[in-house]
Amino acid sequence: MKIIPNNKNSDFVCFIEGLDISEGISLSDSNKIDKLINKYAVVVFRDQLITDEQQIEFTELFGKIEKPGNNSSVQKSTDRRLTSKMADVSNITKSSTVYDRNDPTRIFNLGNRLWHSDSSFKKIPAKYSLLSARTVAKKGGNTEFADMRAAYDKLDKNSKSIIKDMVCEHSLIYSRQRLGFDMKTELSDREYKNFSPVLQPLVRIIPMTKRKLIYLSSHIGKIRGWLREDSMCFINDLMEHATAKKFVYIHKWKINDLVIWDNRQVMHRVRHFDDTKEYRDMRRTTILGEEKLI
Ligand code: OGA
Ligand code: MN
């Protein structure tokens, strides 16, 4: 196993070579990878031709799988293309067509174009995400990652003290509202209830590395005890700071890439591609966090 940091002078993003995930990974190698995810926050493997079963087996080496449920999508389970252990972040329907422009599932998935941390809107948010590229777009469709540890370190003293004990409300309702998708009118009252906001701290510490970071996400719509409008001004400013170029790695997908990121430590977003024409088949498995944070 060979480890190649993306940048010699930073501990953000590394490439791992010399492993074939389809052959199965030893416990000692998975322990090493786990440490690398904690250290680098984004870990990239190239040329991993794997089946869904192999991806799931590999994922389970790092913890419990988080199943996408009725609180993470507007899609009916009978319309799912993939097994219940995977999140389908492709633009492909069960009958192998691309989604129409006005399909609610497509519109909902556009939320991935906003900077976010996976499942920050769940009581126990996601730990790692593993995304496998089965078909890539010819143009566009890069995924960008922003390092929330570096963003925290570069805050001034005053900002650090303001956010020290801040608690934020996260919900898919808030992120979709940013796009103009109003879940209140699109969903029934019962469906809407699944998306009630949850509380998360704005500052986190990673137990293994003891590094502090800003736990940001477009799912945030309110700071506890603040007006919603004041909250949005404050959070938008922090977002701007935290997603400056110097904190961002741009991943240009090649077929059979597998990228693991640590949702505790980074935000990510996918960029535009011609999604009503081109196929982009991306399959995600997700590791559940270990505990409620609040
Ligand atoms: C995700 C996601 C990014 C992408 O899988 O969580 O946000 O590149 N997708 O499709
Ligand atoms: Mn995501």
β-sheet bridge partners, residue 45: 258
Domains, the chain: 2-286 (3.60.130.10)
Nearest CA to ligand 1 atom 6: 118
Nearest ligand by distance to the CA of 269: 1
What SS3 class is residue 294? coil
pLDDT(105) > 90 = yes
pLDDT(89) > 90 = yes
What is the model's pLDDT at position 31? Answer: 98
Backbone CA torsion sign across 106, 133, 172, 193:
positive
- Nearest CA among 202, 201, 286, 289 for reference residue 239: 202
Distance, CA 143 to ligand 1 centroid (Å)?
A: 7
Query: Residue range 20-28: average pLDDT?
Result: 97
pLDDT(69) > 90 = no
- Ranges of H-type helices in 110-210: 148-153, 157-163, 172-179, 183-186, 189-193
β-sheet bridge partners, residue 16: 3
> Residue 240: exposed, middle, or buried by beta-carbon count in 10 A (0-12, 13-18, 19+)?
exposed
Q: Confidence band (pLDDT; 50, 70, 90) for 186?
A: confident
Ligand 1 first shell, C-beta below 6 A: 89, 112, 118, 129, 131, 143, 268, 270, 282, 284
Query: Residue range 245-268: average pLDDT?
Result: 98
Query: Residue range 170-179: average pLDDT?
Result: 96
Q: Confidence band (pLDDT; 50, 70, 90) for 95?
A: very high
C-alpha distances in Å from residue 175, one per residue of 169, 180, 220, 221 = 11, 9, 7, 8
Distance, CA 158 to ligand 2 centroid (Å)?
A: 31
The answer to whether the predicted template modeling score (pTM) of the entire model surpasses 0.95 is yes
Rounded to whole angstroms, the Cα distance separating 85 from 94 reads 16
Query: Residue range 49-53: average pLDDT?
Result: 98
Residues in contact with 156: Cβ distance below 8 Å, sequence separation at least 6, in sequence order: none
